C-alpha cells in the first residue's frame, strides 16, 4: 500500500466568463442571466481560493481554461469566412449560439473527468475518463480540448491512463467527478467508489429539471477504470433534489476518507445506499453524517452551496471544510456548523467566490480531486503546481489580459477573441504545457 496525497487541480477561470444563464436546472445560473460579469475578479477569486489552501499545506495545482469562443464548433454549424466574419454572422443570425460557444464553464473542472486512484484499479495505474457532458451543448463541446489538457498535465505512460469519452448519446450522459465520490481509510488505501446517477431505465424521474447523469454511464466508467464491482456503489439522486436545483451530486453531498456528509434528501433510498457502502468498505468504518431537512432545508442547501464545499484532510490528521462566503449569509447553515464539529470536521474556512457562485459553481465545482502517490506526483507536468511564485505570475497574467466587465454583447467583438488567444498563448508558456490550444498550431 503506497502513501498518497489528494491534490486539488483547480480550473482557472477563462477570459470569456459571462452570465449566459446556460445551465438549465442550475438556479444560480438562471437567476443571474444577462448580468454584466467581471472576468478579472472571477479569475483572481479562484486563484485566491487556491492560494488559501496551498498556504495551509495542501497540494494545489491549476488546470488551464479552454479556448473560447470555440470557432471550430461554429464552423461545424455552417458559419464560414475569417474569424471576424464568423463572429459577425453568428451575432446576426444566431446570437444564442455565441454565448454557448463562449462559455467559460470549463472552469468547473469537477465536470472535466472521472478519476480513479491507482490503489483502486486493476492495473495499479491512475485512470481518467473525460466527461461527455452531452446534456448541454455549451459543455458537450468541451471534451476534445479537455482531453488534450489532461494528457498534457498527466502524460500517458507508466502512471496515467486516459480513456475516450463514453458514447455521446442520452443513455451514456456523463457529468464527471461531480457525481463521483471516494471513501477509504486514508488516501493511499484502496477505496470505494460512490457513483451517483440521476436516471436509469425504470426509475422515477424528476418532474421539472433534467437528470444529467445516467447509471449506465457510471457503470461504464467503473468498467473502463478496472474497478472491482464489489467496491463500487451506485446510488440514485433523489428526484425532488434535482427539481430543487441539485443538478450534480456535489451540490448535496461530499465525501473525504471515511466521512460522508450529505443532506437528508440527497439519495432516493438512503438506507440502501449506506448499507451498500458499509458492505463495500468492509473493515473500514463509514462515518455517515446526514444533515436533516428540518435543520437545513433543501432550498437553503442549494442557495448556500453548503455541500459544494471542499472537505479536506489536514496534514495533522484533522478535517477542514472550505465553504463559499455565501454560507455566512444563510442563517440555517450558520446555525448548523456547530453540528458539523460533531461529525469530525475540525475547522471551517470561507472563500469569496461570488463571480463563480452567481453562475452556479462553488468551491467543489472548481476543483478536480486527484489522489497521487509520490511517483505519480513526480510525473505530473511540473509547471502546474501552485506556489508563491506561480501565484504571483498568474495574478499578473490575469491583471494584464482580463477585462473587468463583460456582457453578452461583447462576445461578438473580434478584439475579445484576439485578447483571449494572446492570454492563453501566454498561459501555456507560463505553465510549460506546450501548444495545448488549437490556434497555436494554426498556419
- DSSP letters, 280-311, are HHTTSPPEEEEE-TTTS-HHHHHHHTGGGSEE
Q: Are 16 and 406 contacting, i.e. CB atoms less than 8 angstroms apart?
A: yes
Q: Would residue 241 count as lying in a domain?
A: yes
| Residue with the three cell numbers 491549476 | 62
Q: Are 312 and 53 contacting, i.e. CB atoms less than 8 angstroms apart?
A: yes
User: Cis before residue 442, ω within 30 degrees of 0?
Assistant: no
Q: Which of 410, 321, 302 is nearest to 361 (CA)?
A: 302
Q: What average pLDDT does this structure show over 189-201?
A: 94
C-alpha cell at 157: 505512460
Q: Would residue 300 count as lying in a domain?
A: yes
Q: Which of 192, 165, 173 is nearest to 181 (CA)?
A: 192
Determine which one of 18, 159, 187, 248 is catalytic. Answer: 248
- Chain segment 373-430, per-residue pLDDT in tens: 999 999 999 999 999 999 999 999 999 999 999 999 999 999 999 999 999 999 999 9
Q: Which of 176, 206, 194 is nearest to 105 (CA)?
A: 176
- Chain segment 343-355, per-residue pLDDT in tens: 889 999 999 999 9
Whether the predicted pLDDT of 442 surpasses 60: no
Determine which one of 6, 67, 142, 175 is catalytic. Answer: 175
Whether the predicted pLDDT of 441 surpasses 90: no
Task: Please say if 365 is a catalytic residue.
Answer: yes
Neighbours of 415 (CB within 10 A): 10
pLDDT tier, 281 (very low <50, low <70, confident <90, very high otherwise): very high
Q: What average pLDDT does this structure show over 283-294?
A: 97
Rounded to an integer, what distance in angstroms lies between the CA atom of residue 308 and that of residue 248? 10
Q: Would residue 279 count as lying in a domain?
A: yes
Question: Quick one: what percent of the chain has pLDDT higher than 70?
Answer: 97
Q: Work out the end-to-end distance of the chain between its first and last CA atoms, rounded to an integer number of angstroms.
A: 49
Q: What average pLDDT does this structure show over 178-194?
A: 97
Task: Please say if 169 is a catalytic residue.
Answer: no
Domain range spanning residue 161? 4-68+103-441
CA distances from 235 to 114, 208, 246, 299, 400 (A): 16, 20, 15, 22, 45
Q: Would residue 92 count as lying in a domain?
A: no
Determine which one of 18, 263, 365, 401 is catalytic. Answer: 365
Work out how many domains the chain is built from and give that number: 1
Q: Are 196 and 249 contacting, i.e. CB atoms less than 8 angstroms apart?
A: yes
Q: Are 28 and 357 contacting, i.e. CB atoms less than 8 angstroms apart?
A: yes
Q: Are 94 and 78 contacting, i.e. CB atoms less than 8 angstroms apart?
A: no
Q: Would residue 83 count as lying in a domain?
A: no
- Chain segment 104-161, per-residue pLDDT in tens: 999 999 999 999 999 999 999 999 999 999 999 999 999 999 999 999 999 999 999 9
Q: Would residue 82 count as lying in a domain?
A: no
Q: Would residue 76 count as lying in a domain?
A: no
C-alpha cell at 23: 445551465
Task: Please say if 175 is a catalytic residue.
Answer: yes
Rounded to an integer, what distance in angstroms lies between the CA atom of residue 439 and that of residue 443? 9
Q: Which of 310, 354, 309, 306 is nearest to 331 (CA)?
A: 306
Handedness of CA 147, 50, 103, 399 (dihedral sign): negative
Give bridge partners of residue 259 from the DSSP assignment.
256, 287
Q: Would residue 88 count as lying in a domain?
A: no
* Predicted model pTM: 0.96
| Residue with the three cell numbers 451498500 | 276
- DSSP letters, 404-422, are S-B-GGGGG-HHHHHHHHH
Whether the predicted pLDDT of 443 surpasses 50: no
Q: Are 262 and 291 contacting, i.e. CB atoms less than 8 angstroms apart?
A: yes
Q: Say which CATH number the domain at 31 has.
A: 3.75.10.20
CA distances from 27 to 17, 136, 316 (A): 18, 15, 37
Rounded to an integer, what distance in angstroms lies between the CA atom of residue 206 and that of residue 119? 35
As a residue count, the chain comes to 443
Rounded to an integer, what distance in angstroms lies between the CA atom of residue 195 and that of residue 184? 14
Amino acid at each position: 500500500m503506497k502513501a498518497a496525497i489528494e491534490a486539488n487541480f483547480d480550473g482557472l477561470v477563462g477570459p470569456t466568463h459571462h452570465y449566459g444563464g446556460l445551465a438549465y436546472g442550475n438556479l444560480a445560473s438562471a437567476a443571474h442571466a444577462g448580468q454584466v460579469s467581471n472576468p478579472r475578479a472571477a479569475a483572481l477569486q479562484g486563484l485566491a481560493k487556491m492560494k488559501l489552501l496551498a498556504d495551509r499545506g495542501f497540494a494545489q495545482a491549476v488546470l488551464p481554461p479552454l479556448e473560447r469562443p470555440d470557432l471550430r464548433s461554429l464552423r461545424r454549424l455552417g458559419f464560414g469566412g475569417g474569424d471576424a466574419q464568423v463572429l459577425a454572422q453568428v451575432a446576426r443570425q444566431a446570437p444564442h449560439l455565441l454565448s454557448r460557444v463562449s462559455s467559460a464553464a470549463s472552469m468547473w473542472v469537477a465536470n472535466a473527468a472521472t478519476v480513479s486512484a491507482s490503489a483502486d484499479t486493476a492495473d495499479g495505474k491512475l485512470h481518467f475518463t473525460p466527461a461527455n457532458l452531452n446534456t448541454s451543448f455549451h459543455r458537450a463541446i468541451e471534451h476534445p480540448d479537455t482531453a488534450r489538457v489532461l494528457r498534457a498535465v498527466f502524460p500517458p505512460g507508466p502512471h496515467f491512463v486516459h480513456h475516450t469519452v463514453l458514447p455521446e448519446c442520452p443513455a451514456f450522459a456523463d457529468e464527471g467527478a461531480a457525481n463521483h465520490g471516494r471513501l477509504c481509510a486514508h488516501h493511499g488505501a484502496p477505496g470505494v467508489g460512490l457513483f451517483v446517477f440521476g436516471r436509469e431505465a425504470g426509475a422515477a424521474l424528476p418532474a421539472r429539471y433534467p437528470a444529467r447523469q445516467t447509471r449506465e454511464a457510471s457503470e461504464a466508467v467503473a468498467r473502463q477504470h478496472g474497478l472491482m464491482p464489489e467496491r463500487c456503489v451506485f446510488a440514485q439522486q433523489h428526484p425532488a433534489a434535482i427539481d430543487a436545483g441539485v443538478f450534480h451530486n456535489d451540490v448535496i453531498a461530499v465525501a473525504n476518507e471515511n466521512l460522508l456528509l450529505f443532506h437528508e434528501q440527497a439519495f432516493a433510498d438512503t438506507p440502501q445506499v449506506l448499507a451498500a457502502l458499509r458492505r463495500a468498505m468492509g473493515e473500514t468504518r463509514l462515518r455517515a453524517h446526514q444533515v436533516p431537512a428540518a435543520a437545513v432545508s433543501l432550498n437553503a442547501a442549494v442557495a448556500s452551496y453548503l455541500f459544494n464545499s471542499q472537505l479536506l484532510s489536514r496534514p495533522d490528521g484533522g478535517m477542514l471544510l472550505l465553504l463559499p462566503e455565501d454560507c455566512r449569509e444563510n442563517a440555517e447553515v450558520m446555525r448548523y456548523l456547530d453540528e458539523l464539529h460533531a461529525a469530525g470536521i475540525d475547522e471551517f474556512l470561507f472563500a469569496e467566490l461570488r463571480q463563480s457562485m452567481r453562475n452556479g459553481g462553488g468551491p467543489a465545482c472548481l476543483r478536480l480531486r486527484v489522489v497521487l502517490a509520490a511517483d505519480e506526483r513526480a510525473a505530473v507536468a511540473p509547471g502546474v503546481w501552485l506556489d508563491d511564485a506561480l501565484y504571483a505570475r498568474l495574478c499578473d497574467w490575469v491583471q494584464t489580459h482580463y477585462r473587468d466587465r463583460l456582457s453578452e454583447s461583447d462576445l461578438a467583438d473580434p478584439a475579445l477573441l484576439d485578447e483571449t488567444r494572446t492570454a492563453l498563448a501566454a498561459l501555456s508558456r507560463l505553465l510549460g504545457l506546450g501548444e495545448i490550444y488549437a490556434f497555436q498550431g494554426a498556419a
